[in-house]
Amino acid sequence: MSGLYIHIPFCAKRCIYCDFYSNTDLQRRDSYVSALIREMELRSVDDRIRTIYFGGGTPSLLTAAQFQRLFDAINKNFNTNSIEITLEANPDDLTPAYLASLRLLPFNRISIGVQSFDDDDLNFLKRRHSAQDAINAVNRCRDAGLTNISIDLIYGLPGQTPKRWLRNLEQAIALDVPHLSAYNLSYEEGTALYLMKEQGGLQVIDDEANETLYNMLRDELTKAGYIHYEISNFAKPAPEHPQGLVSQHNTSYWNGTHYIGLGASAHSYNGLTRSWNVASLDDYIQSLENDRLPAEIEHLDERMRYNDLIITRLRTIQGVSVSELRASFGDALTSRFLAKTETLKYGKMLKMQGDNVKVSAENWFLSDWVMREMIEL
């Protein structure tokens, strides 16, 4: 076991683009924390937990006392020797007082949902902070001694120009954070953003413009010294981290390491099965009050496990290890993989480096297409 993911679904308000499960009823935080603790008791394991990640939603809406209850339960029910404990946070939650309370807890990494350093973008996305709030949040984290900082950005907003995106990147680089994630805005069915698009009220930019913005992201951050270690993730090297201060927790997903997901809508994976909790606060709490795990389980056959490996590894700078593929799935699947590789190598979409097959750096924006070509249907 490597990772423990804990979903905190609460949000002060919903952003127009988000399709993660969330709930705005903040009065239910205590009962939700109690349900999380009961789930920990029912899912207690002896395997070592190397990383812990509080995601959301907005985990920074929990109080220090609520987090302390969760950490006490984690230490009681799991073998924790964690090298990385991450908190996702909204910039405007990171007041000096709140950060001082976090420093009494085991957190050693913070991921700040900046999304943009342009106030017009933030207003459009219905974020509850300003660009200056985001800058202040990063500086306050450093002042509080929490220096392992990641920030999230979104590109491809309606009408976004290269000039506006460059200003975002310049501000991010000026903050000199050790880690940055950037995601292409997606129009997920069921979100307010999707409805706006369907009603024709948005200037949606095309794939070519999105690719231009992505290449700018890659080029500007690489020039600034960041290592582009996964499609959407960049880490800055340091003497003690020559390969960059990567997200250990998220890297475990891409490396196929097992993880437990706790909370409403959270997913778990143990190599043979994938499970997911119910995406309902009411049903989640009620199930655990009745000592029932609110999860569905899917058993993974060889084809599904093979496809998982191809999709996750091709997201990364390491790519797919042919020897690992052969050891896990035998000669027949490996031979089919290599035959497909040859076709895409001629098209310069893939390259071979030692034992590893990788998506060519200049084609990472097209990696979803490459993955579709490489999996077994």
Q: Is pLDDT above 80 for 56?
A: yes
pLDDT at 347 over 90: no
| Cross-strand pairs, 241 | 238
234 vs 347 pLDDT, higher one: 234
Record the pTM. Answer: 0.94
Does 307 score more than 90 pLDDT?
yes
- φ, ψ of residue 355 in degrees (nearest 5): -90, 0
Contact 176, 141 (CB under 8 A): no
Kindly give, in sequence order, each residue whose CB lies less than 8 Å from that of residue 203, ignoring residues fewer than 6 positions away: 158, 159
pLDDT digits (tens, 9 = 90+) for 240-257: 889 899 999 999 999 999
What lies within 8 Å, CB to CB, of 89 at 6+ separation is 58, 59, 60, 110, 111, 112, 113, 137
The CA-based angle 332-269-43, given to 5 degrees, is 145
pLDDT confidence band for 81 (50 / 70 / 90): confident
> CA 256, CA 307: separation in Å to the nearest integer?
11
- What confidence score (pLDDT) does residue 30 get? 96
Reported as a single tens digit per residue, the pLDDT across 95-122 is 999 999 999 999 999 999 999 999 999 9
Q: What is the mean pLDDT of residues 350-365?
A: 92
Residue 22's pLDDT is what?
Answer: 73
- Above 70 in pLDDT, residue 304? yes
Mean pLDDT of 177-184: 97
Residue 1 has pLDDT above 70, yes or no: no
What is the model's pLDDT at position 130?
95
For residue 246, CA distances in Å to 111, 251, 292 come to 12, 8, 36
Binned at pLDDT 50, 70 and 90, residue 193 comes out as confident
In the predicted structure, residue 288 carries a pLDDT above the cut 80: yes
What is the average pLDDT across 144-173? 96
- Mean pLDDT for all residues in the chain: 93
Q: Kindly indicate the confidence band of residue 197, based on its pLDDT and cuts at 50, 70 and 90.
A: confident
Residue range 362-375: mean pLDDT, rounded:
91
Beta pairing partners, 84:
51
pLDDT of residue 189: 86
pLDDT at 17 over 80: no
DSSP 8-state assignment for residue 171: H
Strand ranges of the sheet holding 350-353, from the earlier edge strand across to the other edge = 320-321, 356-359, 350-353
User: 111, 88 in Cβ contact below 8 A?
Assistant: yes
Minimal CA–CA distance to 111: which of 131, 94, 97, 128?
A: 94
Residue 149 has pLDDT above 90, yes or no: yes
For the cut 70, the answer to whether the pLDDT of residue 265 exceeds it is: yes
pLDDT of residue 301: 96
Q: Quick one: average pLDDT of 127-154?
A: 96
Measure Cα distances from 334 to 308, 356, 370 in Å: 14, 12, 17
